[in-house]
Homo-oligomer: A and B are copies of this chain.
């Protein structure tokens, strides 16, 4: 089978963010034997695979699990089960090795897809939607309003939509003017950003910031947030390390800084609650409340040469098409 293979091995020890200038630094296209499955696994013929920021962190050696040189990259996709009792079923899946014609997947994590769901929506069925749902649940438990940074991302848009359903007011930060349907949208490059941010935060009092950027602007917003606010980091789009300029925010105001990782959420969440979340996500896609904005589709052969440019197209997801 053909696959986009990881070139690096282990962790890089760097922290340069999910941007890439040349995918050939991290990936190579190769033909390899079909992978073998073990007990509890199935072989999936991949239709399409997602390119999430976590994939880019991963191939660069900056993610929470180590690379294995010579193995396919890619965490998420949709395809057809080829083996076992689910054979023939179209499913969404997460694994390591989705950027390939075939992937080995734990059978328990295969999610059968409703016919109303397109392959593109099926490809982005797990990582972003479950992250959005889990984090917005945390935000609702924390208070009446939430800050969502880099809100023009697929994940940001899902969270804004969830905020409306859940009655959580959303304060969205963006790099260029956009109408995302949030209660307040703040352009971080606007000359009056700080004034607008102070006004919005004073009025809505967000107790949580769901942050994919983690730069100095994030820290500025954190310092503007009310007592007992929580800065939740779930990504690192910025390659700059933020300064903690006011430790008194932690000491006197009871604020805290934490992280969110979907892998940990799976470990901590009961299977029944996971299934309920997955069903809810699928219903939202099936009835068109949610949809995946696709910024680019790449054939597998185009990934090494085309991925860097494709990921620079804003506000949508890059999809890798296998056949």
For the complex, what is the distance from the CA of A154 to the CA of B309, rounded to whole Å? 58
Candidates B62, B245, B247, B261; contact of A233 at CB < 8 Å: B247
User: Which of A41-49, A109-117, A180-188, A235-243 forms contacts with chain B?
Assistant: A235-243
Q: Chain A, interface size: which category?
A: 20 to 34
* Chain B residues closer than 8 Å to A264, beta-carbon distance: 252, 254
Answer whether residue A35 sits at the interface, using C-beta atoms and an 8 A cutoff: no
* Chain B residues closer than 8 Å to A254, beta-carbon distance: 259, 261, 264
A178 to chain B, nearest CB (A): 25
Which residues, 254 to 300 on A, are CB-close (under 8 Å) to B? Answer: 254-261, 263-264
Nearest neighbor of A15 in chain B, beta-carbon distance: B246
Answer whether residue A84 sits at the interface, using C-beta atoms and an 8 A cutoff: no
> Are A257 and B248 also in contact (CB < 8 A) when A241-B243, A242-B243 are?
no
Candidates B214, B250, B253; contact of A247 at CB < 8 Å: B214
Answer whether residue A34 sits at the interface, using C-beta atoms and an 8 A cutoff: no
Task: List chain A positions with a Cβ less than 8 A from chain B.
Answer: 15, 62-64, 214, 233-236, 241-261, 263-264
The 7 closest A-B pairs by CB, nearest first: A64-B252, A250-B259, A251-B259, A241-B243, A257-B257, A256-B258, A214-B247
